[in-house]
Structure 1
Amino acid sequence: MSSYRDKKVITIGVVNELTGLSARMIRYYESRGLIFPERTERGTRKYSFSDVELLMEIANKREEGIQTYEIKKELLNENKKKTVRDQMIQGQLNAQFNMKKF
């Protein structure tokens, strides 16, 4: 079951209000591969609370002068670490409880 934080239900206008980022800037971060909104059948972008938090982190890093390619590299490294951690946990569960998937 996914957390409410990960459900893509927020429109770009609300994200704009919550973050102070313009719709243009939000779309730019999407084009740079930093954020991945879902799309409705009509093409409307939908964001999650986790996306809003990530956008705030990105904006803060940009204010510090960090380039988008550096932010993307950092995000990819974080995802790799999470994947390795999840695989290690899965291996421990398999060994301890003979579980196949958590």
Structure 2
Amino acid sequence: MSYESSSYKEKKVISIGTVKDLTGLSVRQIRYYEERNLIFPARTEKGTRKYSFSDVEMLMSIADKREDGVQTHEIRKELKKAQEQIQKEKLRDTMIRGQLNAHFNMIKR
């Protein structure tokens, strides 16, 4: 799945009340996961938290892991490792595109 096809999932447009309804988590739990640096909502000018569909999915995943007894610091380590892997893959893709462009004189991105 390309980033372009999933970009709507990254838009921070959902209020904390709606996230609460979608996930079944309490507002306190959602804020706790933010404090533990597991999710990163955007803030409006007035300080209101806004979440994305990806944040909602992440919160549901976190809640499942917590139910299984996984500690938040362990979840954070998993998330960091996954982010590092994504960055490596993006770098690899960029390098391959650059090599193809150099070899075939392609300009397409």
Counterpart secondary structure, 1:5: helix
Aligned Cα RMSD in Å?
Answer: 1.5
Q: Which runs of 4+ in 1 moved over 2 A?
A: none
Partner of 2:48: 44
Unaligned runs of at least 5 residues, structure 2: none
TM-score (norm. length: structure 1): 0.94
Aligned residue among 50, 70, 73 for 2:74: 70
Q: Indicate the residue corresponding to 1:89 in structure 2.
A: 93
Percent sequence identity over aligned pairs: 55
Q: C-alpha distance in 2, partners of 1:21/1:97?
A: 48
Distance 1:75 1:53 in 2: 13
Partner amino acid, structure 1, of 2:31: R
Size of the aligned set, in residue pairs, is 101
Structure 1 residues 40-82: Cα deviation after superposition (integer angstroms, max 9, x where no partner): 0000000000000000000000000000000000000000000
Q: How does 1:5-24 map to 2 (within 5 A)?
A: 5-24=9-28
Q: CA deviation at 1:35?
A: 0.2
Q: CA deviation at 1:97?
A: 1.5
- Max Rg structure: 2
Query: Structure 2 CA distance, aligned partners of 1:59 and 1:35?
Result: 12
AA aligned to 2:98 is: N
Stretches of structure 1 that go unaligned for 5 or more consecutive residues are: none
